[in-house]
A = this chain, B = another copy of it.
Amino acid sequence: MKSVAALALAMTVAPVAGNAASGANDDVSSVAPALERYEQETLEKGLWARPGLSARDRSVVTVAAVITRNQMGLMPEQIRRALDNGVKPAELSEIITHLAFYAGWGNAMAAVDAARPVYAERGIGANQLPAAAPTLLPLDEAREARRAASVEQTTGPASPGLVRDTAEVLFRDLWLRPDLAPRDRSLVTVSALISAGQVAQVPFHLNRAMDSGLTREEASEVISHLAYYAGWPNAFSAATVAREIFEKRTNP
């Protein structure tokens, strides 16, 4: 088992140059020429350019997928692309923070490691980042009471600590942080759930996303976008759940 050594060797060999969309083709085509064709034709000229979901939202979804799946290889280029597509540094910071809880602490730490040199190279300083403890958005107490009652019923008997943390850390703090719009926060959460194959909580969060302004057309295209970045099986599982949600909602 010489895995890490071999990886280090590969790193020494790999050239340091170019960006995601150009100059890297020789690297891919020296192993899989078809993959280069799919990257150029199917992803770049197809998926990323098609209507139904803005390039900015596609970047939010893709960054969430890459962090959730802990794909250190894709992180730097997708973080750069997100900034290029109009995701603000403060929003990206909040996406990473949000995923510490929805994808796991280690996933967020790996994303911090990937984002740090990108922020440095673009001169993104503290004045462009969210405050550690900003004034929070107002809480919808009625909605929060309904959510808390539901979680108390399903989760309380098994883990009172989880119930308490869900209220105090997530819904009375994290979700109210102002530097990422609730609609985007839900978009990140839904993308993380689909990317991890965790469909059980998609109904709650997809409904919440649509209540916050995500359209049915956008939700539909989130799923087909994630087919490429989280794999077809996860997209199919998500589609089955989304169909039921779409059918139940009276207003789109």
Report the copy number of this chain in the oligomer: 3
A72 is an interface residue with CB less than 8 A from chain B:
yes
Chain A interfacial residues counted at CB < 8 A:
121
CB distance from A198 to the nearest CB of B (A): 4
A196 is an interface residue with CB less than 8 A from chain B:
yes
Chain A interface main SS type: helix
B1 touches A158 (CB 8 A): no
A220 is an interface residue with CB less than 8 A from chain B:
yes
Task: Point out the residues of chain B lying under 8 angstroms from A105, CB to CB.
Answer: 43, 74, 228-229
Which of B31, B170, B221 is in CB contact (< 8 Å) with A112?
B31
A200-B233, A237-B200 are known contacts. Are A73 and B7 too (CB-CB below 8 A)? yes
A162 touches B239 (CB 8 A): yes
A93 is an interface residue with CB less than 8 A from chain B:
yes
CB distance from A174 to the nearest CB of B (A): 8
CA distance A102 to B154 in the complex (A): 28
B31 touches A129 (CB 8 A): yes
7 nearest CB pairs, A to B: A3-B73, A161-B224, A71-B106, A8-B11, A158-B243, A6-B76, A162-B224
